[in-house]
Amino acid sequence: NQHNKEKDTTSISAMQPISTTSDDNDLQEYSFRKYAATYFAKSANYQYSKKPLKYSLHDLPTPDDVLAAQALWITILRFMGDYPEPKFDNPIKDNESIMTKVSQTLTRSFTNRKEYQEIIMHEKKSLTKSDRQKLISMTLKRKNKLLEDVRKGLVEDNYAADSYNDWLHNRRTNNLEKLHFIIGHGILRPELRDEIFAMLCKQLTNNYIKSSYARGWILMSLCVGCFPPSERFINYLRAFIRSGPPGYAPYCEGRLNRTFQNGARMQPPSWLELIATKNKDPINLEITLMDGTIQTVEVDSATTSEEIVIQIASTLSLKDVFGFSLFITLYDKVMSLGSENDHVMDAVSQCEQYAKEQGQHERNCPWRLFLRKEIFTPWHDPAEDSVATNLIYHQIIRGIKAGEYRFNVEADIASIIATQYYIENGSQMNKNVLHTRIGEYLPTYLVKQSQNNLNVWETNIVNAFSNLLCVKQKLSQMKAKEFIVKYAKSTWPILFSKFYEVIQISGPELPKKNMIIAINGSGIFLIDDQEQILLEFTYADISLATYERTAQAMKFILHTVRKEEYVFLTLDAQNLASLVQYILDGLRKRSIYCVVVQDYKHPVNAESFLSLKKGDLIILKGGLNGEKLMTTTWGYGECNTKTGDFPTECIYIVPTLSKPPLDILAAFKKEGYIVEKQEDPTDNPLQHRKYHTLAHYAEEHFRSGGKLTISKKSVLKAARRSSYEKLWKYTNEPIYQPLLNKLLPDEKVSKEACNIFTAILKYMGDLPAPRSKLSNEHTDQIFDEALKNDNLKDEVYCQIMKQLTFNRLSLSEERGWELMYLITGLFLPSSQLLAELQKFLKSRQHPFTEHCLQRLQRCQKVGPRRFPPYSIEVEAIQHKSLEIFHKIYFPDDTDEAFEVDSLTRAIDLCKTIGLRLGLQSTDGFSLFVAISDRVFSVPGNAFFYDFLRELIEWMKASKPSWGSKYDCHSL
């Protein structure tokens, strides 16, 4: 599809399938025959058949789904060559794509369904009628175009029946059309996915017709490459695929694994994929770079734009990858595929479908793929990566020539062309060369305007050339390219933006509700459909960007430092929030500007400390920047012409590379600063998903914070903190009473709670402490008493959640998450606090949260541990290892490593060993720990690490000289 001046034919190897999640032993019990007997409705048969279905194989949610299943069955038979085409073919041909027809059928049916009515009811409360229609359109936008009659709310009960009847009886179709019909249903209606897979398994069971069998496996390969089965069916499908023909079994399973890895497709396979799958050939795509070279990339159905960008970057040694995106062009249309999780073959499929609608065959569709710079970071430095700068330079020069990038000042045109001349021809201006090539350099629209009288432009370019810095200082070609890249970044921010369609649903009123958000290196722009800028933010204006996923929609929420909250509906809420937050975080790390959010005065007015008022600007000194400031409790900088130390908890790092304007600083002088706004249960559902805190739980269960008293020990604390304690928030100071009210009457337990908190501060690095000799020294102090005393269990959970709430020190927070991971594998809190803990974890995006929730579930099933984490567990999580493997020795002098986690019991490990070794039963087998010349049997219900710890501590007590060496055996 692509032709250009140079071509790199080095193929980049395709992404490797992830390893299979189940071994053959695990899948032995999952036969398709067993599945059919268990889940098929109306006693449907599990074997090959050529007869039409009287009903669907499964019980499906709606009558329209049953109609769809019957039509899918006939279409599958026809694809496999087992059922004749209709006798009559409609002579009136239309070029409308099959995906559009399927979407039309399903969306009209959808308006009758319960979930559609729920969306309407929910949104009526907050949206106008036009906004509701737009929302429904956006909800289904990714699936396909929503037809005008659906937007108007037309409902026709018999539409689906008529549509499927027309498909089956009045239209002859080719294989690609059948494929789009089958897979289109699976993409648009997830409830039909198991039905489609079950139909394929049925038709491939005892099918002795070679051609039919081969086509069935081709269809299976294409389906597993586009959408996954449900959890209920996955193991049955894996088992079925593994029992398939050698040529297709590994191929299909690899495609299935890739689909699980990258998610379901949004479009059915392209003609290119159909041909490749028939022959099990790789798909090679040509990606044109802006310097005219071509990279050939090997892809599969699941390949994302991110994977391709990473591969090309690796081949080119492109280091500064951010902002490079894939683009696809067809005729005069251009579409960004970004550099995230969009499937590249979806875009190819869309292009083929569009070409067909224009009357062209899919195989002749002239789409092309490009790699371009789409967005700059605010801190982009072209000197850091010459490969990236060269590509961006060529993109700018091509764009200027084509009129994509236009100038407001004529003098700039002459300077840029003069710089281009310098790069291509050196530091000597040859007027004859310029005269010969002026038509190549000038933008095409200017050549036409000048009616080929270009003498004035030649004169301007010669004059500009003599004034160029790179000419005067004889700078390198790369330096000259850097000048052009910097110019483009600052001159055309909107043209180097990522764009997102949104609807505003709350916040300060804007002239229009429907708009586009443009994110670029200069800021955030809200633009209407006439390309007029409605509102512009610098990143210093923004305090937080986040998103909320609900059953009805995805919401993007933007918080400003002026306490404004803008809420938008958009399908891309997650990617949009991630991009804005990435830029905000990057700016904060590089920023040297802080604004004071809390008055501060040193208790004894020491001269080396700054006195601060809310809204004051601090400029960091001594090589400090935001990134370094986030890992310390004290900073050093200049405020109001004085230089000194200041506590970091009193300041907010402004995400900017230049001095923030006065209006930004003024926003912080107002009462009720925004960053640590606590959650209000009366917030309407359009508010963003804030971090869940213990604020409300604390009102009922925590002791009263009260006013802080000033004593020798707490002078600094009283001076630095607000007059009332928020006990549920992070602090780097010890506590002198427990958090929970219920512990106060017991002095001994109260003292223990305070000691635990001190140990937490030491572990997290918030309190200076000598380096611990043992990895589990502090964790023992934190968890030991809580394991013995149920009253302390809730206290420890509350203390850890407190230290993870508004903790702005990244190192401290990371260690806090290590403690959260460890405690969730030890014991549960009370049922009331468990609900708070689950909300707390689900509202966070730390990599450990899912694992913590899973550990809580397992803890509920198998019960609490008896001892604090063993040293191996602590060291593993400190190295961010979520898996611990332990070597087990067998009687035949062999050994193997097995995973042993915090909640693994001896009986669990024996079963795992039995499965690995293919034993029919593990009855009578046990684990033994060998120490020196002694062997100890591990009780079946004992937690592995509890037994190990108890045994080793006993050995150390009875034999102090013992060196902690032990072996574990299975007998």
CATH architecture of the domain covering 592-653: Roll (2.30)
Give the long-range contacts of residues 428-432, CB within 8 A, separation 24 or more.
429/462, 429/465, 429/466, 431/458, 431/462
Q: Are 419 and 468 in contact (CB under 8 A)?
A: yes
Distance CA 13, CA 295 (A): 12
Considering only residues 918 and 261, tell me which one the structure prediction assigns the higher pLDDT: 261
- Residue 558 CA to residue 583 CA, distance in Å, equals 14
pLDDT at residue 852 in the model = 95
Architecture of the 695-878 domain = Alpha Horseshoe (1.25)
At residue 152, the pLDDT reads: 38
pLDDT of residue 613: 93
Q: Which of 27-36, 106-115, 156-165, 174-183 has the lowest mean pLDDT?
A: 106-115
Cβ atoms 193, 230 nearer than 8 A? yes
**Highest CATH level, class, for 280-373:** alpha beta
Distance of CA 384 to the CA centre of its chain: 27
Residue pair 706/722 in contact by the 8 Å Cβ criterion: no
Q: Is the pLDDT of residue 846 over 90?
A: no
From CA 817, how far away is CA 819, in angstroms rounded?
A: 5
pLDDT tens-digit map of 188-242? 999 999 999 999 999 999 999 999 999 999 999 999 999 999 989 999 999 999 9
Beta bridge partners of 895: 889
Of 820, 797, 548, the C-alpha closest to 686 is: 548
> pLDDT at residue 125 above 90?
no
Contact 789, 749 (CB under 8 A): yes
- Here the tokens at position 56 are 């669907």
Q: What was the pLDDT predicted at 501? A: 94
What is the C-alpha end-to-end distance of the chain, expressed in Å?
Answer: 63
DSSP class per residue in 916-930: HHT-S--TT--EEEE
Q: Write down the residue that tokens 């005008």 correspond to.
A: 148
For residue 873 the two structure tokens come to 């567990």
Return d(Cα 348, Cα 328) in angstroms, integer: 8
Query: For the structural domain made of 26-269, what CATH number should be given?
Result: 1.25.40.530
Q: Is residue 439 within 8 Å of 454, Cβ to Cβ?
A: yes
pLDDT higher than 60, residue 599: yes
User: Phi and psi at residue 676, in whole multiples of 5°?
Assistant: -105, 40
Above pLDDT 70, what percent of the chain?
A: 86
Helices (H), 140-246: 148-151, 159-169, 175-188, 193-203, 210-224, 231-242
| Residue 80: band (very low, low, confident or very high) from pLDDT cuts 50, 70, 90 | very high
**554 neighbors 548 (Cβ within 8 angstroms):** yes
pLDDT of 938 strictly over 60: yes
Identify the CATH class of 498-587: mainly beta
Q: What is the Rg, in whole angstroms, of the alpha carbon atoms belonging to the chain? A: 33
The hierarchical CATH code for the domain 382-491 is: 1.20.80.10
SS (H, E, C) 848-906: CHHHHHHHHHHHHHHCCCCCCCCHHHHHHHHCCCCCCEEEEECCCCCEEEEECCCCCEH
- What pLDDT, in 10s, does the model give residues 298-351? 999 999 999 999 999 999 999 999 999 999 999 889 999 988 889 999 999 999
Tell me the Ramachandran region of residue 563: left when phi exceeds 0, alpha when psi lies from -120 to 50, beta otherwise.
left
> In this predicted model, what pLDDT tens digit does every residue of 523-561 receive, in sequence order?
999 999 888 999 999 999 999 888 887 766 789 999 999
| Residue 537: strand pairing partners | 524
CATH 3.10.20.90 domain position(s) in the chain = 280-373, 885-970
From-to residues of CATH 2.30.29.30 in the chain: 498-587
Report the top-level CATH class of 885-970: alpha beta
Report residue 111's pLDDT band, with 50, 70 and 90 as the boundaries. low
- pLDDT classification of 8: cutoffs 50, 70, 90: very low
